[in-house]
Amino acid sequence: MTHINTKIQPYIVPGRRVHLSGIGGVSMCPLAEVLHGMGLKVQGSDMKDSATVEHLRSLGIPVTVGHSAQDIEGAEFLIRTAAIHDDNPEIASAHQKGIPVFERAEAWGAIMQRYENAVCIAGTHGKTTTTAMTTHIFMAAHADPTVMIGGTLPMLHSGYRVGKGDTIILESCEYCNSFLHFFPTVAVVLNVDADHLDFFKDLDDIKHSFRRFAQLVPADGHIVANADDPGAMDALKGLSLFTFGLDHPADCRGENLRWDHGAASFDIVIHGQVYTSLTLHTAGRHNVLNALAAAAAAYLLGISGEAVKNGLEGFSGAGRRFEYKGEYNGAKIYDDYAHHPGELHALLTTAKSMGYQRVICAFQPHTYSRTKSLFHDFVRELRAVDKVVLAEIFAARETNTIGISSADLAKEIPGSIYCPTLTDVADELRRLAQPGDLILTVGAGDIYTVGEALVKG
């Protein structure tokens, strides 16, 4: 299977000058640092100053605030984030001058070809956590990996690291087929579900994309797949797989599970032999599967069972993945990035197993198109908790041409409360909170600010 056609490779060479539009972004900052380390002359721009921008400046990378045509002066090519469109003055100027413009995924694809091992972790859900777990394992093995995660990993104090080892570990997103620019030697497929239906036609289209991703692996590489996920197994049927799972026969299995307040102790058994035994400090069955995926990738690259144990037992979660924020009026407050019904199911199932008197979920849907296409699935999952507080839909990249609101969800969820603003959500949670409650702020937008406001008092 061929990659999406790209001509960026000849530009990724020492001495070339590159401008990064949106350089402060979660995957652009590490890209800037990697390119800088390779000897390219890196410059960039971002809409605002930040700690990330200051870090890049401390490396000698000039960064301007705002976007203007003159910012690209001297650049031989541009790299942009998906959020920056052709009407951006930098991009428009580059097109006018005939300067090539590439997407960040194309650049990461070119870079990963320089590593012996490229572990690309894909799936509709769980990518960030599994990429973080894999990072912990390779760090415990002293493999000095280069890493790009779509979230913050406390161990790194960021979402990335630039190492000197022979392995690169990347969270690999299917949206807009970005991961088809990649060159995985180990492709991990956690699950395949209906999502991003503003880009994909339907679930079959998504499965086709994941199959193309897996087929990018060379003959001497590995495809790691979740034997328990029907979507993944259907998408990848007929391919040579190294499987992991709990419920189905698999090459890598979790066995002898013991549960304590949602957290699991278990053996990792590969081809009938115990690879290692460990206790996870992140709750939920879904995190056992994520750990098995990370362990399978590590095993295939010769990492010891001891490093897998040490890495996974030292992992306490990635930022915004069941992240403990504090207390308010005796209620424990956690935040989670879940924005798909499958993620909600995993999160709320785990929350209900932890022994709290009530589970209160403040949910902010993410994008109008996702809310509409998965409306009944969201209703089903949210009905499972004791109390639901609904924030208005977070628009992200969309405008509301559909005419949908979180108020429509509230009508279908008995006892739920619709709040037009985040201030209203915070006020409602203050009214509800009592000792013994677990309060969850959930969504991929800015709902996390509500939990932070409560903790501050």
CATH code of the domain containing 50: 3.40.50.720
* pLDDT confidence of residue 2: 52
Catalytic residue (choose from 103, 106, 171, 392)? 171
Task: Give the pLDDT score at 207.
Answer: 96
Whether 235 and 286 map to the same domain: the answer is: yes
Total domains in the fold of the chain? 3
Last residue of a domain, one of 80, 103, 126: 103
Do 34 and 183 belong to one domain?
no
Q: For 322-348, write each residue's pLDDT tens digit.
A: 888 999 999 999 999 999 999 999 999
In a domain, 109, yes or no: no
| 88 and 150 in a common domain | no
Condensed to tens digits (0 to 9), the pLDDT of residues 292-310 reads 999 999 999 999 999 999 9
Indicate the residue among 288, 313, 338 that finishes a domain.
313
Check whether residue 332 and residue 303 sit in a common domain: no
Please check the confidence at residue 93 and state whether its pLDDT lies above 80. yes
Backbone angles phi, psi at 399, to 5 degrees: -115, 155
Catalytic residue at 207? no
Least confident range from 21-30, 85-94, 115-124, 126-135: namely 21-30
Mean pLDDT score of the chain, rounded to an integer?
93
Q: What is the pLDDT of residues 203-242, one digit of tens each?
A: 899 999 999 999 999 999 999 999 999 999 999 999 999 9
**Residue 108 forms part of a structural domain:** no
What average pLDDT does this structure show over 424-435? 97
DSSP 64-129: EES--GGGGTT-SEEEE-TT--TTSHHHHHHHHHT--EEEHHHHHHHHHTTSSEEEEEE-SS-HHH
Q: Which CATH number covers residue 335?
A: 3.90.190.20
Strand 101-103 with 77-80, pairing: parallel
Under DSSP, the state recorded for 157 is T
> Looking at the structure, do residues 82 and 56 belong to the same domain, yes or no?
yes
The contacts of residue 1 (CB under 8 Å, 6+ apart) are 212, 215, 216
Asked whether residue 13 is assigned to any structural domain, the reply reads: yes
Convert the pLDDT of each residue in 117-176 to its tens digit: 999 999 999 999 999 999 999 999 999 999 998 777 878 877 788 899 999 999 999 888
- Annotated active-site residue 127? The verdict is yes
pLDDT at 97 over 60: yes
User: Which residue among 103, 136, 161 closes a domain?
Assistant: 103
Query: What residue type is assigned to position 145 of the chain?
Result: P
pLDDT at residue 27, rounded to an integer = 79
* Whether 352 is catalytic: no
Q: What is the pLDDT of residue 162?
A: 84
190 part of a folded domain: yes
Do 218 and 124 sit in the same domain of this protein?
A: yes
Q: Is residue 395 assigned to a domain?
A: yes
82 pLDDT band (50/70/90 cuts)?
confident
CA 267, 233, 290, 440 torsion-angle sign: negative
Q: How confident is the model at residue 5 (pLDDT cuts 50, 70, 90)?
A: low
Residue scoring higher pLDDT (76 or 38): 76
174/268 same-domain check: yes
Given the residues 81, 128, 130, 146, the one annotated as active site: 128
pLDDT of residue 268 exceeding 90: yes
> Domain check: are 296 and 166 in the same one?
yes
Please write the tens of the pLDDT for every residue from 379-410. 999 999 999 999 999 998 799 999 999 999 99
pLDDT at res. 25: 83
Does 80 score more than 60 pLDDT?
yes
As a whole number of angstroms, the distance between CA 105 and CA 122 comes to: 14
Instruction: Give dist(CA 178, CA 105) in Å, integer.
Output: 6
Which pTM does this prediction carry? 0.80
Is residue 110 a part of any domain in this protein? no
Instruction: Note whether 123 and 184 are same-domain residues.
Output: yes
pLDDT at 26 over 80: no
pLDDT of residue 397: 79
Residues 24 and 46: beta-carbon distance below 8 Å:
yes
Tokens at 99, concatenated: 């300067």
Residue 4, in any domain of the structure: no
Q: Are residues 54 and 141 in the same domain?
A: no
Q: Is 292 found in the same domain as 205? A: yes
In a domain, 81, yes or no: yes
**Cα–Cα distance, 96 to 85 (Å, whole number):** 14
Please tell me which residue in 127, 207, 325, 387 is annotated as part of the active site.
127
Range of the domain at 383: 323-456
CATH number at residue 220: 3.40.1190.10
Query: Does residue 349 sit in the same domain as residue 299?
Result: no
